[in-house]
């Protein structure tokens, strides 16, 4: 069973810490520290981070990237993947 990570801090630690996560995006580790503090990742990091988590047998909710949760029977897939505050 996959390990569920519920915070940005959990995700960052699972992936080896701020320095290692920053290297995935050619960012400074301070940028990753901001993500940890804000409790949300930038949307552009979704695919890379979720893929890295999957390879480690872990996953995290889409809400950590500011996406609205998918609720069975409500809306469309595109609506569910649109970051909060963004227009489709």
Q: Are 88 and 79 in contact (CB under 8 A)?
A: yes
**46 falls within a domain:** yes
Predicted TM-score (pTM) of the model is 0.78
- Structural domain of 35: 3-80
Each residue's pLDDT tens digit, 37-83: 999 999 999 999 999 999 999 999 999 999 988 777 655 555 545 55
Average pLDDT over residues 20-29: 97
Number of structural domains the chain divides into: 1
Decide: helix, strand or coil at residue 86: coil
Distance CA 83, CA 14 (A): 24
Q: Flag whether pLDDT at 12 surpasses 60.
A: yes
Q: What SS3 state is found at 59? A: strand
- Residue with the bigger pLDDT between 15 and 79: it is 15
CATH number for the domain including 16? 1.10.260
d(CA 9, CA 39): 8
Residue 7 has pLDDT above 90, yes or no: yes
Tell whether 63 is covered by a domain: yes
Q: Is residue 85 part of a domain?
A: no
């Amino acid at each position: 069973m996959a390990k569920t990570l519920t915070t940005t801090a959990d995700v960052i630690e699972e992936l080896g810490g701020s320095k290692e996560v920053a290297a995935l995006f050619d960012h400074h580790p301070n940028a990753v520290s901001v993500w940890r503090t804000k409790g949300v990742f930038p949307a552009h990091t979704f695919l890379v981070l979720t893929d890295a988590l999957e390879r480690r047998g872990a996953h995290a909710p889409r809400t950590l990237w500011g996406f609205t949760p998918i609720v069975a029977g409500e809306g469309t897939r595109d609506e569910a993947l649109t970051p909060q505050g963004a227009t489709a």
